[in-house]
Amino acid sequence: MTAGTRTVGLGVEKPAAVAASAPGRNGARRRLTRARSDGLMAALQWIGPSYLIFLAIMAFPAVWNIVISFFTVSYGSDKFVGFSNYGQILGSSQFYSSLWLTIYWTASVFVGQFLLGLLLALFFNRRLWVGKFLKPLMIIPWAVPGIVAATAWTFLYSQNGPIDQVTKTLFGIAPAWLSSTTLAMPAVIIAGIWKGAPFYFLMILAGLQSIPPELMEAARVDGASRLRVLVSIEMPYIKNVLIVTSVLGLIWTANYFDGIYLITQGGPINATLTLPIWIYNTAFSDFNLSEASALSVILLVIVLILSIPAIRERRLT
Amino acid sequence: MTQRLKLVATNMAGVVVAVIVLVPFLWTVLESFHGSDVFAPTFSLFRPTVSSYQYVLLHTAIPQEFLNSLIACAAALAISIPVSCLAAYGYSRLRFRGKAVLFYGVLVTQILPATAMVIPLYHVWSLAHAFNNLVALGVAYAAFNMALAILLVRNFFDNIPLALDDAASIDGCSRFQTFWYVLRPLVTPAVAAASVFVFINAWQDFLLASSLITNSGRFTVTVGLYAFEGANTTNWGAILASSVLVSIPSVLMFAVAQRYLVRVVSGGVKG
């Protein structure tokens, strides 16, 4: 997109709509039967209902939550405490440990999902008799609710469960995956990679299949190696798909709750207590709603700052 | 001949890869037909039985929770789909000041994570005495999924030539008549896809349902299943059978939606 379009449309508009609303740029496309503006009141008849719901379920709660984060909420009396809830959080070592765990979780799961999805997509990007039958099955991990994935993995990791039986026969050891502070995080990361990889698989496969066959044929005639084709043709061609998939995947993963909470509840000894789970436990296990409110504000600010480029990316690419 | 052999080998490899990826779920499905003694040596003779399913359907709250989930999903669909179609039309066809900013707002709601919103919603739910109300839960689901629906349907509107609107308006259609009689039938695929995604997201939700529903009689399937696991830690047969049952609607919907999926996700990009 050109810089000119961006200034007109605040970077959010689509080219066609921009052309229509800025007749000077492209007079031929201006519709004479239409007024220049339909007016905000007319527009509200169409977009008003959606905004009512957004205001009631998103904006108002977010603002109200900021107010509450300056109080301590207790039975009967709410006391204004200024920034003390925030001080409590920023002064506790748990905050930094949870922040680190969130980064650790997000980065590992992202890399794992991306690589697994890419490898599967590369494998299935060919003519296979079984492809038509297998491809829909491959998205099952992503299609099952988080609680089902969590149940399956809790079962697999359980003492004397299937994984224990396999490692015991092969290596003679049966580590207690979910009750070890060092192994619990890798365990939920593996489950998380399994759950989300099909999303990358599906998106990357669709991207690969949009590459014109002539391009691949030309590379083959020129004698390019498989790796060379991947690096010089396939990856650049699907760059946009990779960016959007990764941005969405990163946001989803950083905020993922079900997969961790339903397997470990953040334990053992807070070893898997990422920020979303800490918030949930603070509110619903410790019943400290005011601190949970302040934590939500902090998480919201972090997410919004991180996603501004993502929103721009989505509209501009 | 070697060509053919290679082809067979690749297909076999494909099956092996798929089985490896699916092992955790296949295990769940297999063990759910195992009856109650799941930890009997798994490699011994396997005689499938539906006793676990019988138990789940007759002696647990899962059927009631299916109904609860369906109510919340239906409310989410009934609210989000009409409202999103109106908004999508507005963003696609109307010109007004502040449109870019308002549309930006929609995109922001798509990114707001439920994990950061669950406490704010909890406060508002207690202000409004809306706990344990499945329709209120459906409204929350609607809010969290409307951005996706608006984007998807707007994309379809954008690809319909304006000439169609002009023709309808020359024939004397009002804006709403144009929307309802001329354009709405043309965006049916997008509306269908959006509905499927709203349903899937609502069906799979655990976080909102677990904090906004406190009465076990109103639990949705995901929360109900979690509670059941907490109370029956040893009855793996029933737990796994419930897991399979809870997965069926969302897996079916995914199978339907798969061909739309790629377009939905990249829809925001290409426009």
Residue B96's domain is classified under what CATH number?
Answer: 1.10.3720.10
Question: Contact at 8 Å (CB) between B209 and B72?
Answer: yes
User: How big is chain B, counted in residues?
Assistant: 271
Counted domains in chain B: 2
Measure B155 CA to nearest chain A CA, in Å.
10
Do the Cβ atoms of B184 and B85 come closer than 8 Å?
yes
d(CA A102, CA A87): 21
Residue A194 and residue B39: Cβ atoms within 8 Å?
A: no
Q: What is the pLDDT of residues A146-162, one digit of tens each?
A: 999 999 998 888 887 78
Cβ atoms within 10 Å, residue B130:
16
Q: Do B12 and B126 have their domain in common?
A: no
Task: Based on the fold, state whether residues B99 and B180 are members of the same structural domain.
Answer: yes
B64 and B197, same domain (yes or no): yes
* Alpha helices by DSSP H, chain B: 2-32, 51-59, 62-93, 99-111, 114-127, 134-158, 162-170, 175-177, 188-204, 207-212, 221-231, 236-270
Tell me how long chain A is.
317
C-beta atoms of B100 and A13 within 8 A = yes
In order of their start, the domains of chain A are 3-86 (no CATH), 88-316 (1.10.3720.10)
Q: How close B132 gets to chain A, by Cα (Å)?
A: 16
Domain identity same for B209 and B258: yes
Note whether B13 and B41 are same-domain residues: yes
How close is the nearest chain B Cα to the Cα of A214, in Å? 22
The DSSP bridge partners found for residue A71 are A80
Amino acid at B56: V
SS (H, E, C) B133-147: CHHHHHHHHHHHHHH
B79/B209 Cα distance (integer angstroms)? 18
Amino acid of residue A271: A
Count each helix (H run) and each strand (E run) in chain A, helices first. 18, 2
Residues B151, B268 contacting (CB under 8 angstroms): yes
Mark yes or no for CB contact A153/B104 under 8 Å.
Answer: no
Statement to judge: residues B47 and B165 lie in one domain: no
- Of A256 and B83, more confident: B83
Q: Please check whether residues B133 and B240 belong to one and the same domain.
A: yes
Whether B142 and chain A come into contact, CB under 8 Å, resolves to: yes
Query: Residues B119, B240: one domain?
Result: yes
CA–CA separation, A166 vs A256, rounded Å?
29
Position A133 scores a pLDDT of 81
Please report residues of A whose CB lies closer than 8 A to that of B81. none
* Whether residues B22 and B87 fall in one domain: no
Choose, out of A44, A50, A53, A102, the residue to mutate when testing the contact with B (most B CBs < 10 Å).
A50
Tell me whether residues A47 and B86 touch, CB distance under 8 A.
Answer: yes
Whether the CB of B183 is below 8 Å from some CB of chain A: the reply is: no
Contact B215, B169 (CB under 8 A): no
Positions of chain A with pLDDT lower than 70, given as ranges = 1-36, 74-76, 310-317
Could you tell me whether strands A71-73 and A78-80 are parallel, antiparallel, or unpaired per DSSP bridges?
A: antiparallel
A208: chain B residues, CB-CB within 8 Å: none
Is the Cα torsion angle A283, B127, A307, B269 positive or negative in sign? positive
Higher pLDDT, B265 or B23: B23
Choose among B18, B97, B226: nearest Cβ to A37. Answer: B97
Asked whether the predicted pLDDT for residue B271 surpasses 80, the reply is no
Assess whether B94 and B46 both reside in one domain.
Answer: no
pLDDT per position as a tens digit, A48-59: 999 999 999 999
Report the residue of chain A nearest B255, measured CA to CA. A136
pLDDT interval class at B270 (50, 70, 90): very low
Give the number of other CB atoms < 10 A from CB of residue A86.
Answer: 17
Q: Which of A180, A186, A183 is nearest to A268 (CA)?
A: A180
For A247-266, write each residue's pLDDT tens digit. 778 888 888 898 899 999 98
Query: What's the confidence (pLDDT) of residue A74?
Result: 67
Domain that holds residue B152: 60-270
Specify the DSSP class assigned to residue A210: T
- Please tell me the distance in Å from B24's CA to the nearest CA on chain A: 6
Q: Chain A interface, mutation test: which of B10, B39, B115, most A Cβ atoms within 10 Å?
A: B115
pLDDT (average), residues B56-71: 93
Give the distance from residue A304's alpha carbon to the nearest chain B alpha carbon, in angstroms.
7
B214 and B84 belong to one structural domain: yes
Q: Which two tokens stand for residue A9?
A: 């449309």
C-alpha Rg value of chain A to the nearest Å: 25
CB-closest option in B10, B239, B251 to A151: B239
**Residue B98 confidence (pLDDT):** 87
Size of interface A-B (CB pairs under 8 A): 296
Burial A198-221 (b: 16+ CB within 10 A, else e): bbbbbbbbbbbeeeeeeebeebee
**Does one domain contain both B24 and B92?**
no
Instruction: Calculate mean pLDDT across residues B77-103.
Output: 93
